[in-house]
Amino acid sequence: MSGFILGVDVGTTSVKAVLLAADSRTVAASQALPTAADISENSGIKAKEQDAGRIIAALNRCVSQLPRDKLQHVSRIGLSGQMHGVLFWKAKNVCDWSNEDFFTAGDTSQLITWQDGRCSRDFLSTLPKPDSHLSVATGFGCATIFWYMKHRPEFLEEFTVAADFTPSDSAQLEPSISYFPYFNASYLAVAATLNGGNVLATFVETLTSWMGELGAELGGPCLYEKLIRCALIQETSDLMVSPTLLGERHNPLCLGQVTNISTSNLSLGHVFRALCRGVINNISSMMPAELLLQVGVCRIVGSGSALARNEVLRQEVERVFPLQVVYGHNADSAVGAAMVLCDRL
């Protein structure tokens, strides 16, 4: 049997694992599971935290569902995951390897994720100026540590190590684009929006909550499919939605807006079409199509569950970007992590 590369993606809402055949660069097996790791936030500080133990448990289950005979021939492991958050642990008790097949989380803190909003603009202005072209935003691990130093120093005393997943810095040109070192002395230009599929999920959750208050019940997945069907019928809309519910790192005070409202564009089809268009327009404003064309980009690869599930979103991508657009499949990030290593065998 030929060798395999295990690709793992530890995402914000799910974990994915793939086995990539090293010789053919094809996916031999893949699995994905939700982490269900979010911790309810009732403190009023806009915290966004997850249970590390649940994430590890989901990862263990995900990997265990891959073919065992192929797992025995894994030569390398590629890892991708959510950036910027921070996790604290005690150096000698970070995990338990007593089970030969899996490990469990040890004496760790909760994961404070990249979506964390406890660091206000005023608080960030009090931090030491970074020796970097990259600005510090709420949700960044270093900012979170400073927040704990000021507000809960006793919390930090419980741990000895902190780690996050943030690449090194490099040259910066546009405020909405960050440049990170990549392989072979190259750089990645990254426009990382805070407002993507999570905005659509928030809209669905809000509608579900309203319906519950009105005494009507309709599950989230079913409602999402109905919204997509309504928007597919409504091919255009003059309703304008700026969906930046969380602001953006380069412009944290620019929150969402709805404009050009009239009596003729308040149907669910209009609203959801405008919302999907707004999500893509926001991404385009951060990394415009003109810039992609200038640097020689000729193809866009769309990945992620939001695009996979939502034909309206795909239509808006193809409308905004005048380039060939191809779409990946489930576990794209895990496949990418494995392919990076495959290229370096």
Task: List strand residue ranges (DSSP E) for the chain, in order.
Answer: 4-10, 14-21, 26-34, 38-39, 49-50, 74-81, 87-89, 95-96, 104-105, 111-112, 161-163, 178-181, 187-190, 240-242, 257-259, 299-302, 324-327
Indicate left, alpha or beta for 82 from its phi (over 0: left) and psi (-120 to 50: alpha). Answer: beta
- Ranges of each domain in the chain: 4-174+331-342, 197-327
Mean pLDDT of 23-42: 88
Instruction: Give, in order, the Cα–Cα distances in Å from 31 to each of 97, 241, 310, 336.
Output: 23, 35, 21, 15
Spatial separation of the C-alpha atoms in residues 205 and 199, rounded to whole Å: 10
Tokens of 273: 């079409």
165 vs 163, more confident: 163
d(CA 272, CA 227): 7
Task: Please check whether the two domains, 4-174+331-342 and 197-327, share a CATH topology.
Answer: yes
- Spatial contact of 243 and 168, defined as CB atoms under 8 Å apart: no
Q: Which of 95, 116, 103 minimizes the C-alpha distance to 38?
A: 116
Residue 100: predicted pLDDT: 65
Q: What is the pLDDT of residues 205-228, one digit of tens each?
A: 999 999 989 988 877 788 999 999
Beta pairing partners, 334: none
First to last CA, the chain: 17
Q: pLDDT per residue over 49-101, tens digit each?
A: 999 889 999 999 999 999 999 999 998 899 988 888 898 887 776 677 666 66
Query: Would you place residue 171 in the very low, low, confident or very high pLDDT band (cuts 50, 70, 90)?
Result: very low
Amino acid at 138: T
Q: Percent of the chain having pLDDT more than 90? A: 46
- CA-nearest of 4, 113, 14, 110 to 62 is 14
Mean pLDDT of the chain: 86
Topology of 197-327 in CATH? Nucleotidyltransferase; domain 5 (3.30.420)
Q: Does residue 173 have a pLDDT over 70? A: no
- Tell me the fold of 4-174+331-342: Nucleotidyltransferase; domain 5 (3.30.420)
pLDDT above 70 for 174: no
Handedness of CA 17, 21, 27, 30 (dihedral sign): negative
What is the DSSP secondary structure assignment for residue 273, as one 8-state letter? H
